[in-house]
Amino acid sequence: MKNKSTMDELRRLFMELYDNEKAWDHLVGILERNRHERRASLKKLDEERRGEGAWFRSHQLLGMMLYTENFGGDLRGVRKRLPYLEELGVNYLHLMPLLDSPEGKSDGGYSVSDFHRVRPDLGTMEDLEDLAEECHGKGMVLCIDFVLNHVSDEHVWAREARKGDPTAMSRFFMYDNWEIPRQYEQTVPQVFPATAPGNFTWYGDVCKVVMTTFHPYQWDLNYANPMVFNDMTDQLLYLANRGMDVIRLDAIPYLWKALGTSCRNLPQVHTLIRMMHLACEIVCPGVALLGEVVMEPRQVMPYFGSAEDPECDILYNVTTMCTTWHTLATRDVRLLQHQMGQVAGLGKEGFFQNYLRCHDDIGWGLDFPFLGQFFMGEVSHKKFLNDWLTGNWYGSPARGEVYNDDAFLGDARLCGTTASLCGIESALAAGDEGTRDLEKAIRCDLMLHAWMLAQSGIPVIYSGDEVGQLNDYSYHEDPARSSDSRYLHRGAFDWEMAARRKEKGTPAWKIFRGIRRLARLRSRTPVFAAEARMSVEDLWESRVMGIRREHEGETFLGVFNFSDSDAGAHLPEGRWKNMLTGKPVRLTPDGWLPMKGYGFFWLIRMDRN
């Protein structure tokens, strides 16, 4: 087998963790089989990408994440609608979970009962492969989720375990009584304190208490058992071999459990992810791993690993995302400046996927010690943010809903679409009286997208946001969903609204056109390359965020007014041109750049420095 040193490294880590020769031989067999099964066309792609370096770092990538059923009905429907995505410039498509998962206890697809089967109402594995092929033909890449912390209680392993099969049971955490579970509960926090409290569930059929960190029907896998690692790596490679380009590793901080700890971010998790990366290097080197680590910044960064020993190739920029919403609510850019300073200081090691909204809630993983300097306490500030973004604050136009509001912890999170959170929904509801507010809300929506698109990394739009889709309140009527407010922003794609992107003057027209224009500029202008030097620019106005990018003699300045009122920004030295109009910027006689509420500028320096 090729890749000797990669194999050596994998073996070293595997033995360090498991010290089990038989299990190692089994893993080698899995790698060989998957390598053998990888199609020639995919191997060719691997080769091409090897030459390109980190292909996913291209600033020409524009992502969209969507639910197959919401957007196209099924996989064939998505295939038919690819031209719509191309019209916007999307060339990186993230399909939300689509593998088989039981209706009513699927957690939006994050509860997989068969890794080799697509949910029947969405199509078949062949449909997925066809879609991947079509995407590749169009120069698009495809990403899907790999849910690896847990399986559904209807997955064959769980079914066997529920019959008392000892081998199957050894894949999970199962206890005769509550003694050990109770010990765990003393140190392990809860993921869904209000909707799924506790980390264990009693299963009467087998008379065991089972570890279920997420929902009661999601059984945590026990990675201390090498068979679990081997078989899950096999599933990962199986998906890669279906033609996926990026694999999203779901909820990775939770993978390793140990009594007396928080069962989050334990050192063994890093070994597991590193080993999965090595397995991909051996079988499918063209595939990139996207890690989902929804934690505070100091917990996120280690998941990149190091330049020599990479773990995740891409991580969600969760801190910038929630800091962005904090900035909108507070109209104060200090925390965002601090956060971006840290991102800018990252250099080549870290590469992010940027986003405003995704399928999940906005969790307030902010840098609270930093905010403490300004006397913002954690509980009170979270309450303020939730009040503001749900429109329960004087003057706030936002329409969101809280998520997992735990009265004891004061730790609620937030749901809603970008458009509704920006005030488009409330302005539309006000009819004629809301006309001016609507203009402002659309400006806010575009300003936030411009802010996201100015950052380094892969910008990923949440489906519907490109036409200003509003919240969907229908989940309140559905008993299977009504307790989970994340469905507020998981509504069916509004194709009627999307059709209005062609009607001049409508919100959909303005937003779609605005985003497309910015995305094109981004993809055509080298200053947006990942290699550009990025820094925070203080513009002498606490409501206005400035970001500078420098690359190959070109300098870009992004200026974003996070408040709803007019403001002025003090530009740094130089002559600046507005990238969108091509015209030089006009400053006031005393040197300020006047800005509308929620206005933004993308500027390029005309005189080379």
The DSSP symbol for 307 reads S
- Of the ranges 65-73, 106-114, 236-244, 378-386, which one interacts with ligand GLC (CB under 6 A)? 106-114
Where does this chain touch ligand GLC (CB under 6 A) — which range of 103-111, 158-166, 471-479, 582-590? 103-111
Provide, rounded to whole angstroms, the least separation between the CB of residue 215 and ligand GLC: 7
- Which of 26, 49, 17 shows the shortest CA–CA distance to 225? 17
Catalytic residue among 69, 154, 234, 250: 250
Q: Is 161 helix (H, G, I), strand (E, B) or coil?
A: helix
Q: Give me the catalytic one of 69, 107, 292, 360.
A: 292
Contact 389, 396 (CB under 8 A): yes
Q: Which of residues 141-170 bind ligand GLC (CB under 6 A)?
A: 147
Q: How far is the CB of 408 from ligand GLC (least distance, A)?
A: 21
The one among 74, 100, 107, 411 contacting ligand GLC by CB under 6 A = 107
* Contact status: 110 vs ligand GLC (CB under 6 A): yes
Q: Is the dihedral of CA 380, 384, 390, 394 positive or negative?
A: positive
Tokens coding 409: 């912890």
Q: Which residue's CB is nearer to ligand GLC, number 90 or number 196?
A: 196
**Residues contacting residue 458 through CB under 8 Å, at least 6 positions apart:** 56, 61, 62, 63, 92, 314, 351, 352, 353, 354
3-state secondary structure (DSSP) of residue 270: helix
* 102 part of the interface to ligand GLC, by CB under 6 A: no
For 548, list phi and psi in degrees, rounded to 5: -110, 140
Q: Which residues lie below 8 Å from residue 386, measured CB to CB, with a gap of 6+?
A: 400, 402, 412, 413, 414
Instruction: Point out which span in 104-112, 160-168, 400-408, 496-504 binds ligand GLC (CB under 6 A).
Output: 104-112
Neighbouring CB atoms inside 10 A of 266's CB total: 17
- Phi and psi of 259, rounded to 5°? -55, 145
* Residue 108 interacting with ligand GLC (CB under 6 A): yes
E-state strands within 322-456: 352-355, 401-403, 413-415
How open is the CA angle 294-300-301, to the nearest 5 degrees? 160
What is the closest distance, in whole angstroms, from the C-beta atom of residue 112 to ligand GLC in the complex? 9
Convert residues 207-226 into a mask of x (bound to ligand GLC by CB under 6 A) and - (unbound).
-------x------------
Q: Nearer to ligand GLC by C-beta: 219 or 560?
A: 219
Residue 312 lies near ligand GLC (rule: CB under 6 A): no
Q: Which is nearer to ligand GLC, 213 or 330 (CB)?
A: 213
**Would you say 147 or 547 has its CB closer to ligand GLC?**
147
Helix or strand (DSSP H, E) at 453? helix 435-453
Residue nearer to ligand GLC on the CB measure, 214 or 598: 214
Span from 102-110, 224-232, 473-481, 583-591 in contact with ligand GLC (CB under 6 A) = 102-110
Stretch binding ligand GLC (CB under 6 A), from 1-9, 54-62, 107-115, 276-284: 107-115
Min dist. Cβ of residue 251 to ligand GLC (A): 4
Q: Which of residues 335-364 bind ligand GLC (CB under 6 A)?
A: 359-360
Under the criterion CB under 6 A, does residue 67 sit at the interface with ligand GLC?
no
Smallest gap from residue 250 Cβ to ligand GLC (A)? 5
CA angle 97, 125, 99 (to 5 degrees): 25
Residue 17: CB minimum distance to ligand GLC, A: 24
Residue 378 annotated to the active site: no
Q: Which is nearer to ligand GLC, 212 or 323 (CB)?
A: 212
Please name which of 191, 233, 232 lies closest in space to residue 211, comparing C-alpha atoms: 191
**Could you say which DSSP state residue 488 is in?**
G
Stretch (H or E) spanning 88: helix 82-88
Q: How far is the CB of 242 from ligand GLC (least distance, A)?
A: 21
What part of residues 268-297 is at the interface with ligand GLC (CB under 6 A)?
Answer: 292
> Applying CB under 6 A, which of residues 250, 311, 445, 472 lies at the interface with ligand GLC?
250
| 250 has catalytic annotation | yes
Comparing CB distances to ligand GLC, the nearer of 34 and 418 is: 418
Q: What DSSP string describes 491-534?
A: PPP-HHHHHGGGSTTSHHHHHHHHHHHHHHHHHH-GGGSTTSEE
* Binding positions for ligand GLC, 437-456, rule CB under 6 A: none
Residue number, 487 or 512, with CB nearest to ligand GLC: 487
Q: CA 160 to CA 347: how far, in whole Å? A: 48
Closest residue to ligand GLC: CB criterion = 110
Nearest distance in Å: CB 217, ligand GLC:
11
Q: Are 84 and 113 in contact (CB under 8 A)?
A: no
Judged by CB under 6 A, does residue 251 bind ligand GLC?
yes
Q: Are 243 and 199 in contact (CB under 8 A)?
A: no
List the structure tokens of 69: 């059923």
Helices marked H in 195-266 — which ranges? 226-240
In whole angstroms, the minimum distance from the beta carbon of 249 to ligand GLC comes to: 10
Is 115 a residue that touches ligand GLC (CB under 6 A)? no
Kindly state the smallest distance separating residue 484's Cβ from ligand GLC, in Å.
9
CA 128 – CA 119 distance, rounded (Å): 11
CB of 213 to ligand GLC, least distance (A): 8
**For ligand GLC, how many residues bind (rule: CB under 6 A)?**
10
Question: Is 300 or 603 the residue whose CB approaches ligand GLC more closely?
Answer: 300
Please identify, among the stretches 105-113, 299-307, 458-466, 580-588, the one whose residues bind ligand GLC according to the rule CB under 6 A. Answer: 105-113
Beta strands in 166-324, from DSSP E residues, in sequence order: 174-175, 200-203, 208-211, 218-220, 246-249, 288-291, 314-316
Q: Which amino acid would we find at residue 510?
A: K
How far is the CA of 290 from the CAs of 273, 297, 315, 463, 546, in angstroms? 11, 16, 5, 19, 28
Catalytic residues: 250, 292
Binding site for ligand GLC (CB under 6 A): 107-108, 110, 147, 214, 250-251, 292, 359-360
